[in-house]
Amino acid sequence: MKQLYLILLCSILFFSCNTSKKDAVDIHQYTNLLAQETSPYLLQHAHNPVDWRAWNDQTLEAAKKDKKLMIVSIGYAACHWCHVMERESFEDSAVAAVMNKNYINVKVDREERPDVDQIYINAVQLLTGSAGWPLNVITLPDGRPVWGGTYFKKEDWVNALEQMQKLYTQNPERLFEVANNLEEGIKSMDLLPLNEENVDLKNYNTDEILSQWQASFDNTFGGPNRAPKFMMPNTISYLLRKAKQSKDTGLLEYVTTTLNKMAYGGIYDHIGGGFLKV
């Protein structure tokens, strides 16, 4: 009996150890073109039922050839609401059916393509007054934006897609008008006026600003007193310098708490130790 048990155990171990990577891939019901990418964020969506494509010349040519609107969805691996929208919408086969039927669907990692992200975040800021991630934009086949926003609930997302497709079918001139106006607006946002004022930044008093800022500090868990707690390295760097210059022990303690919580959570340089200075 003991020998039979050992034989069965060895058989199980043999077959489990010899399961190929291909077998592991085959268990996914869906696989799209993002499986060919290297970005962790894009690979995260490689098995969505949405026919995602990466941002490249082939994708843009396909949109022009098929004369389809594009959905350009931008995010990054550490984005909380990006994961939420994926779970609620992009993993839903019914939502994917609407997206795949009428649109060329493009996923962009903002950390891999900040140039693409900047264009569309400017567009959404012009359209809605604010922007963030996930950033979801509908564009003409030539890539010019006509509509967009950030996180959408599933029902709102599907409704918006159906309405935009209906408008594109029945009144495309309206969308081209929006695209032209947005194009001019985006171009004007990149024009910086010449500042001729002489501001003494070295002696600029920031005490009042810092006093208001401190009301949003989380002195127990670090970072801002809200969720999610986005990492803001420039903010931490400034507060650390300010604490040292003004010998503010309370501010120094807050910065130390923030950094400790980040380190305990695994956000640090695992090879060299400490935090990477980018």
Find the domain containing 78 and state its range.
Answer: 28-189
Q: Which residue has the higher pLDDT, 12 or 64?
A: 64
Q: What is the pTM of this model?
A: 0.68
pLDDT given for residue 197 in this prediction: 78
Residues 79, 118, single domain; the answer is: yes
Average pLDDT over all residues of the chain? 86
pLDDT given for residue 276 in this prediction: 58
Angle between helix 154-170 and helix 172-189 axes, rounded to 10 deg: 110
- Is pLDDT above 50 for 182? yes
Residues 155, 208, single domain; the answer is: no
Does residue 271 lie within any of the structural domains? no
Whole-number Å distance between alpha carbons of 147 and 185? 14
- 241-276 residues labelled b (16+ CB within 10 A) or e (exposed): ebbeeeeeeebbebbebbbebbeeeeeeeeeeeebe
What kind and span of H or E run contains 221?
Answer: none
pLDDT given for residue 54 in this prediction: 97
- Is pLDDT above 60 for 272? yes
Does residue 8 lie within any of the structural domains? no
Residue ranges in 191-266 assigned as alpha helix (H): 207-213, 233-246, 249-264
Does residue 21 lie within any of the structural domains? no
Partnered with residue 85 across adjacent β-strands are none
The token pair that represents 242 in the structure block: 């300010």
Please report, for residues 45, 86, 145, the alpha-carbon distance to residue 189 in angstroms, rounded to integers and kept in the order given.
32, 31, 15
Chain segment 218-246, per-residue pLDDT in tens:
999 999 998 878 778 889 999 999 999 99
Does residue 147 lie within any of the structural domains? yes
- Mean pLDDT calculated for residue range 188-204: 74
Residues 121, 88, single domain; the answer is: yes
Residues 128, 89, single domain; the answer is: yes
- Is pLDDT above 70 for 10? no
**Among 154, 189, 224, which residue terminates a domain?**
189
pLDDT given for residue 26 in this prediction: 54
Percent of the chain with pLDDT over 70: 88
The conformation of residue 91, written as its DSSP 8-state character, comes to T
Does residue 98 lie within any of the structural domains? yes
Residues 153, 46, single domain; the answer is: yes
What kind and span of H or E run contains 147?
Answer: strand 145-149
The token pair that represents 217 in the structure block: 């500090």
The token pair that represents 266 in the structure block: 């695994």
Residues 84, 149, single domain; the answer is: yes
pLDDT given for residue 52 in this prediction: 98
- Is pLDDT above 80 for 189? no
pLDDT given for residue 8 in this prediction: 45
- Mean pLDDT calculated for residue range 53-81: 94
**Among 132, 163, 189, which residue terminates a domain?**
189
The CATH number that applies at residue 165 is 3.40.30.10
Does residue 175 lie within any of the structural domains? yes
Structural domains in the chain (count)? 2
Does residue 142 lie within any of the structural domains? yes
Residues 72, 159, single domain; the answer is: yes
Q: Give the 3-state DSSP-derived string for 15-69, with helices as H, strands as E and coil as C.
A: HHHCCCHHHHHHCCCCCCHHHHCCCHHHHHCCCCCCCEEECCHHHHHHHHHHCCE
Please report, for residues 70, 142, 166, 180, the alpha-carbon distance to residue 66 in angstroms, rounded to integers and kept in the order given.
11, 11, 17, 21
Residue 22: how many other CB atoms lie within 10 Å: 7
- Mean pLDDT calculated for residue range 58-67: 94
pLDDT given for residue 3 in this prediction: 53
Residue 240: how many other CB atoms lie within 10 Å: 17
pLDDT given for residue 192 in this prediction: 65
The conformation of residue 248, written as its DSSP 8-state character, comes to -
- Is pLDDT above 70 for 254? yes
With contact defined as beta carbons under 8 Å apart, do 69 and 104 qualify?
yes
Residues 148, 216, single domain; the answer is: no
Residues 185, 223, single domain; the answer is: no
Residues 207, 185, single domain; the answer is: no
Residues 209, 81, single domain; the answer is: no
Does residue 135 lie within any of the structural domains? yes
Whole-number Å distance between alpha carbons of 7 and 233? 56
Q: Which residue has the higher pLDDT, 276 or 178?
A: 178
- Mean pLDDT calculated for residue range 138-143: 95
Residue 112 pLDDT grade (very low, low, confident, very high; cuts 50, 70, 90): very high
- Provide the total of helices (H) and of strands (E) in the chain, helices listed first: 12, 5
**Among 162, 189, 216, which residue terminates a domain?**
189
Residues 108, 67, single domain; the answer is: yes
